[in-house]
């Protein structure tokens, strides 16, 4: 039985490990777990873009919602064990309450997929870089002090040897310390800005299990033919092949 002191000695230090180190450990674990799967199992390479979006911006105590202009793309690699890693870039800009906003966000994604040709994916993203800009009365205030996360899900439907993707993604990001240079001095805004963005995504995925299966079958057929030929060939035939290759 684990004693209470042993629990604190073993578990509590793990909770104090920096986030980057935790992510690194998980990445290494999932990467090596891929190689336990067979070659005939399914791999996926996916790409999607936002088709529609709605954003809610909270600035201080005021809140407003609007369909702001949203663009970007997302790429994801799903290994044969269902674990997927990806990268997402989203740009959002528009005007709310007389203020022009521009946001650019980059996220690292981790997801899990179930199903073979018809699939369902659930995942989460962590903001690695976010830039916010708000313009008021001709003055732009910019910040890169941001933090946030994303949740997303995708449905994969078989189509033309690959898959059609239909998904939903939601970002929740906070921006702080907007700054601007006015008359040679730095002016900082006290209000933080929170962006809650919901997107409907569409895309296409490539399935690799069929390619691996065909390659394996072709290789097996060639090996079988070589074995059969080797078993029926005489020693004289082998010497002729060797001399021909050296000449």
Nearest in space to 36 (alpha carbons), one of 76, 82, 86, 77: 82
Q: How far apart are CA 50 and CA 53, in angstroms?
A: 7
Contacts of 14 (CB under 8 A, 6+ apart): none
Cβ atoms of 170 and 151 within 8 Å: the answer is: yes
Structure tokens at 221: 């057929």
187-194: long-range contacts (C-beta < 8 A, 24 or more apart)?
187/141, 189/134, 189/141, 191/59, 191/60, 192/59, 192/60, 193/57, 193/58, 193/59, 193/101, 193/132, 193/134, 194/57, 194/58, 194/59
- Residue the block writes with tokens 């018809």: 118
Cβ atoms of 34 and 44 within 8 Å: the answer is: no
pTM exceeds cut of 0.85: no
CA dihedral 114, 147, 50, 31 (to 10 degrees): -30
pLDDT at position 5: 45
- Residue the block writes with tokens 């890169």: 144
pLDDT at position 64: 77
Residues of the chain with CATH 2.40.160.20: 42-213
pLDDT at position 6: 43
SS (H, E, C) 70-136: EEEEEEEEECCCCEEEEEEEEEEEEEECCEEEEEEEEEEEEEEEECCCCEEEEEEEEEEEEEEEEEE
Q: Looking at domain 42-213, does it have CATH number 2.40.160.20?
A: yes
pLDDT at position 225: 60
pLDDT at position 228: 54
38 alpha-carbon distance from chain centroid: 23
Tens of pLDDT, residue by residue, the chain (247 residues): 444 444 344 433 444 444 445 445 444 444 444 434 333 467 889 999 999 888 888 887 777 777 888 899 999 999 888 899 999 999 998 888 788 899 999 999 999 998 877 889 999 999 999 999 999 888 899 999 999 999 999 999 988 878 999 999 999 999 998 988 888 788 888 888 999 999 999 999 988 765 555 555 666 666 666 555 455 555 555 555 555 545 5
């Amino acid at each position: 039985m684990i004693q209470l002191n042993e629990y604190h000695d073993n578990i509590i230090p793990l909770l104090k490990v920096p986030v980057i180190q935790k992510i690194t450990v998980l990445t290494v674990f999932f990467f090596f777990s891929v190689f336990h799967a067979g070659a005939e199992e399914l791999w996926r390479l996916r790409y999607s873009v936002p088709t529609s979006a709605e954003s809610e911006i909270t600035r201080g105590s005021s809140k407003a919602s609007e369909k702001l202009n949203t663009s970007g793309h997302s790429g994801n690699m799903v290994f044969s064990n269902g674990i997927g890693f990806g990268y997402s870039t989203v740009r959002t800009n528009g005007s709310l309450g007389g203020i022009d906003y521009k946001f650019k966000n980059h996220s690292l994604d981790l997801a899990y997929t179930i199903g073979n040709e018809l699939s369902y994916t659930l995942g989460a993203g962590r903001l690695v870089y976010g830039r916010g800009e708000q313009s008021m009365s001709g003055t732009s205030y910019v910040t890169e002090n941001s933090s946030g996360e994303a949740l997303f899900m995708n449905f994969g439907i078989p189509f033309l040897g690959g898959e059609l993707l239909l998904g939903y993604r939601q970002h929740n990001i906070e921006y702080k310390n907007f700054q601007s240079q006015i008359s040679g001095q730095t002016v900082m805004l006290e209000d933080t800005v929170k962006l809650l963005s919901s997107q409907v995504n569409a895309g296409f995925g490539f399935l690799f299990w069929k390619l691996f299966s065909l390659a394996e079958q072709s290789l097996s057929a060639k090996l079988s033919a070589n074995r059969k030929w080797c078993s029926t060939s005489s020693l004289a035939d082998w010497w002729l092949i060797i001399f021909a290759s050296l000449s």
